[in-house]
A = this chain, B = another copy of it.
Amino acid sequence: MFKTFIGPTATEEDLAYLRPETAQAIFAQFKNVLETSRQKVPFGIAQVGKAFRNEVTPRNFTFRSREFEQMELEFFIKPDEAVEAISGKVAGAAEAFGRADLPVGQDAQQRVPTTPQPNWGWETWHKYWVEERVRFYEGIGLSRETLGFHHQTPAELAHYARACTDILFKFPFSKKDENGNVTGDELEGIAARSDFDLSQHARFSGKPMGVFDDELRTAWAKLPKEKQDELWKRYYENRKNYLLKSGVEPEPAQKQATDDANGLAKGQYIPHVIEPSAGVDRLILALIANAYSEVTETDSKGKSETRVILKFHPRVAPIKVGVLPLLKNKSELVKIALAVRDLLRPWMNVFYDDGGSIGRRYARQDEAGTPFCVTIDFDTLGEKPELLDTVTIRYRDDGRQERLKISELLQFLLSKVR
């Protein structure tokens, strides 16, 4: 970690570290958020921000850096024992999704349903979030074929983690495996972290991190005695194992686990978390690598030129639309072009360009990854009366052109860039 000192005297008392991940603030503030936001478990807290790791060896452009931007979601869920007390049975992924061996990252027909159910346990929630995150990447232009998956083996998992799935992107610098396939490099890990994080915060801060769940208390009271005992025992074992693995002595661990299991019977528990944790810089690098393409065009004189097109998904393109008057020195064209720019500008990033031939201006926007160009020409002015107040929309990826009414332009573009 990066070490520094707060205040003018650099004594051990002033020692501070730059945070190596963003997640801990979420856990530390968990109770504050819970109490002020009117949320009930299950719910999530997301955060994006800088993290710093001094031990990292920077490599592959911005893929791995000492200072980087992270985005993390801590999604808090009920422990399986609470789900079972309330719903009678915990739906594992097999039951929830209708097949036992659901592979993540499959095509639409094989996807998990998106409506969470009260009977979902941690396993189902974990698969759900893997799937949701894949959909996020697809939604900004990274198709399934560009992604890979790595399911951490028990040996790779941290002792408190129950599962972790990494989502990979096949970067140009990604290596091949022994079968000659590019598996990719990690964009994000989605971990099922049990109740480890909040338990640790509670243990070391001395502040309780449990929640009270009225639904659980009501349901518990109605359970047959043997079911209560079974769930009590399982929760007790889980809590005791956490405490023992964390270095607590057997006797206090048993006492604490007994208190915790007695709490469960009264509607209290420490939430478990599913944690999708992604690197923003490497995602940006993936978006650029994915968008990069070249076309070679031969002009009428037989001269060929290779130019770059950045095929960003409209949602992530830095410039959404180029607004181009056909000619710079025709004030009627310029006037309408400026009006179109001002119409669109409050809603999206617009680049106004009146310099050079229209072909060169299209090529410039292609290189910047702008998905749409709008050209104001003589038909806009009514040269063909039926085209009055229409503009040309030109698509970056295939060069296709269409006419569109100015009055319909904003809605058309908004529907594409959102």
Contact = CB atoms under 8 A, between A and B. Distances in A.
Contact residues of A: prevailing secondary structure:
loop
Contacts of A2: 4-6
B355 A38 contact: yes
Interface string A1-31: 0111111101000000010000000000000
B4 A3 contact: yes
A353 B364 CA distance: 48
A55 B8 CA distance: 7
Given A50-B50, A418-B346, A364 B6 contact: no
A115 B332 CA distance: 20
A54 interface: yes
B418 A6 contact: no
A66 interface: yes
Interface in A19-64: 38, 50, 54-55
A2 B10 CA distance: 10
A353 B8 CA distance: 49
A8 B418 contact: no
Contacts of A7: 54
20 contacts: A2-B4, A2-B5, A2-B6, A3-B4, A3-B5, A3-B10, A4-B4, A4-B18, A5-B54, A6-B54, A6-B66, A7-B54, A8-B54, A8-B55, A18-B18, A38-B353, A38-B355, A38-B364, A50-B50, A346-B418
The 10 closest A-B pairs by CB, nearest first: A4-B4, A2-B4, A3-B4, A346-B418, A6-B66, A50-B50, A7-B54, A6-B54, A38-B353, A8-B55
Given A7-B54, A346-B418, 6 more contacts: A4-B18, A5-B54, A6-B54, A8-B54, A38-B353, A38-B364
